[in-house]
Every structure is written in C-alpha cells, then in structure tokens.
Amino acid sequence: MSRDIILHTYDLKRVYEQGGQSLSVLHNINVDVKAGEIVALVGPSGSGKSTFLQTVGLLDKPTSGQITIGGENIDNSDDKARTLMRRQYIGFVYQFHYLLPEFSAVENVVIPQMIAGVKRKVAEEKAKDLLSSMRMEHRFDHRPARLSGGEQQRVAMARALANDPKLLLADEPTGNLDPETSEIVFEHLISLVRGSGVGAIIATHNMQIAERMDRILELKNGNILSY
C-alpha cells in the first residue's frame, strides 16, 4: 500500500439486524483516500453516507472487511484502542456544531488539545492560529450563542483539526446554512484542509460543492461509484 494513503477500506460491509431481518447498508466498499486529497461523498438520504463515515471514523464497527488508517489496521482493535486511534488520527465535523456552550470559541478549540496532553499555552496559540486563518479574530472570546451559524461551524472545523488528524470526516458540514454562508464556510474548510495536508471525506447533497473537490464517491444501493 502506498505510504501516502491515509484511509484504506477493503470489502467493508455493514449489516444491521432489525426485527429478525438483516438490513445491508454497505456492500464490499473499497476506498482509498490519500494525504491532501479532498473527496466528496454524495448520495440520497438513507444511502448510507453517515453509516460509512461512522464506520471509517471508528464510531461503529463494520460487520466484516478491513479498515486501515495511517498504515494501521483496525480489524482486531478493542474499544480502548479504537478510542485512542480516533483521538490520534481522526477529526470530525458534523451538520450541527456541537460546541460546548459555556466556553468561548478559543476554549472550544483548546479543550481537545489539552485532553490529548498539550499544554494550555501551546493549545491557545494553536487555537488562535486556526481561528485566525478563518477570519475569526474578532470572535475569540465569544461563546457559541453569540456566534452566527457560519461562525459556529468555523469553530467546529478548527476544533476538528486542532490535534493534527490524518483524516478529516465531515458529514453535511454546511447542511444547516443558507447558500451564501455555506459557500463561505466551504471555502474556509477547503483552505484549512489544503493547508494541513490531511485527507478528507466530505459528505454533501450539494453537487456544485462536490464537483469542486478532487474526486466524488457516490453511495448508491450500498455500493460506491467513483468518478
């Protein structure tokens, strides 16, 4: 496997058991994502985009198949090891920001770094650098309730990249925003990802946004089509 492949899946399957019946959501998914590559993940609602992101993000276990992140095979990892790998290798951005309401923008980006063992002063410098790169200098001390929807998402993106992950997973990160704000947030996200060299998968319903990424993966009937 090439050293610059950040994510590799082989014959990835996810089957759910419901009422005595099996519901197959992912069928033999084979995907590679390289460092610095931004990949769009598209497909209708219910096609399995969130399931795929949760599975490769180690929040859910596949029914079968292999996942390799940063050259490390996840197959036989226990829950503790998977949690550590998520912290070390993966950043998440969701449709809703999930910021901590009692903390400022800077503090929301500082906290995950301190959990990972970074000293507060160093974490604050990193947080301010990330937020400044998205023109958020005037919002450093503002709590989430005082931020606009677009600003909240920018803080969430900075938080996701604060610990220098190898893989960024974004699930409809502009889905709750109006078109103009969505465009601004997307541009900041792309700039951040390009600058960090992280591999990224961004799920979106917006084909205009998808077509501006390096590659498109379409989930259809549990299968991946690449173009």
Q: Is the domain defined by 5-97+166-226 classed in CATH 3.40.50.300?
A: yes
User: Starting from the edge strand earliest in sequence, which strands make up the sheet with 223-226, in order?
Assistant: 90-93, 167-171, 199-203, 38-42, 215-220, 223-226
Categorize the per-residue pLDDT at 3 as very low, low, confident or very high, splitting at 50, 70 and 90.
Answer: low
Domain boundaries, the chain: 5-97+166-226
The terminus-to-terminus CA distance of the chain in angstroms comes to 21
105 within 8 A of 155, measured Cβ to Cβ:
yes
Query: Per-residue pLDDT averaged across 55-70, rounded?
Result: 90
Question: What percentage of the chain has pLDDT greater than the value 70?
Answer: 98
**Does residue 139 surpass a pLDDT of 80?**
yes
| pLDDT (average), residues 196-225 | 88
Nearby residues of 80 by Cβ (< 8 Å), 6 or more positions away: none
What per-residue confidence (pLDDT) applies to 67? 92
Percent of the chain with pLDDT over 90: 47
Please, what sign has the CA dihedral across residues 65, 13, 210, 88?
negative
For residue 224, what pLDDT is reported? 86
What are the CA-CA distances from residue 3 to residues 60, 114, 127, 202, 227 (Å)? 25, 29, 29, 22, 23
Q: With CA atoms as reference, report the closest residue to 154 among 180, 114, 184.
A: 184
